[in-house]
Structure 1
């Protein structure tokens, strides 16, 4: 059973689309559900994560305790886990990173937050890094109860991640850290996937039921093209060797300028129809 603090975080996370207050406010947080190695019971734990483009990384630090956390033992015994990210719930395969791959990922984590190094210094065990890779056996289940709410949650998630990336770049030193580069690339990939899904699924769905939406959908598609160009500019900037954070931040601001008006217009025009 989760402790009282964890249970409070879990309930708040589920009630607010992944947003929580207190020590986790503004952090990247997910709910990880594992199967008990001995009991076979399902256990849910809030854990912080690092973006890694098409997957996420979690670190079994246990605050530098001498033993691995229970959730790590569980996923080693049963690697199929369930992830809740505030927008979707999906099954994933847990892969414990080994050797150089683990060391590189942990170094990225330390570069972005020295607290991970402090945890490692407190314990003799090598703190594991685990990749959670989505299992492609069907679409993830949305947590919202209506199509309009799903769209709103997706937009709010994009806004939160964009705000995090902007703050991280602004607070960075003279160089752009490796994890920060990955955060930017993950944002780009996530936004690309969101728009590709709209172009292939939601827009044709609405066009077939609401022919009067043709001008709205055409405008949204044109804006997708402009945003794609901004995404490519950000990808090129973060991929350049020795790039200055100020140049990357300028590309992020360009993306934000293109994106916010697009999100507001889409919410205004489509959510009432999706919820009707």
Structure 2
């Protein structure tokens, strides 16, 4: 390193190849523009992104700390099920039930109307460019917002009320509620049998090679009660294992002809499937033999 005297003038020689930066780093003054305080891009947009990142971190923390409740395995044979979307889509679910948004107008209800609503929401910052921020001074934007809130609230409530009405009318208890009730009912009870504490023996099908068993496999009963006569407990469909302990052949025939509870009469449907009256009688006789082992 070169040494020089303290009173000696030092001259620094610059490199002419380096271009001097003449850009003004001071943000533009927006005070002359009514309703504007800063540039939308990147200043305001950067703040929005930062808030979104904080919100996303909070959501991720909740996801990692509390596992999502998983539903039960889907059962395509369940007939006592009313499919429902998540709560935040109930308004769309209800909208698609109306005649003018379903059937031949389904494109209007599923694509056009949602597209207009969500498209308008995206375009709102560009369409509503007034400097006024008080909602009662912005009648168009405030009216659209209030109408949207009222419509979504009404459709959501109507959809849920109709769902509860259907459950009551069809005497259906949702699977998750039924399992929770069973869990609370069995809480504290031993898992084994009541007498020996061992595992309770499963009920077997009586006379599985009987002609009535082959007729049952062709009947409409199979779709609900299952090939193993096990029924579908979550859907409220009883098992036919041991049905002979509570019903005679004549009573079973009466149920087939007239139905029982939520089950409709199955006689005509079985006739349409190709079963004769004698075969239905033979099947009922076989079902009456299904008794639990003593």
Name the TM tier (shorter chain).
under 0.3
Compare relative contact order (CA 8 Å, sep 6+) and give the higher one, 1 or 2: 1
More helix, by proportion = 1
**What is the TM-score when the length of structure 2 is the normalising length?**
0.20
**What is the TM-score when the length of structure 1 is the normalising length?**
0.21
Higher Rg: 2
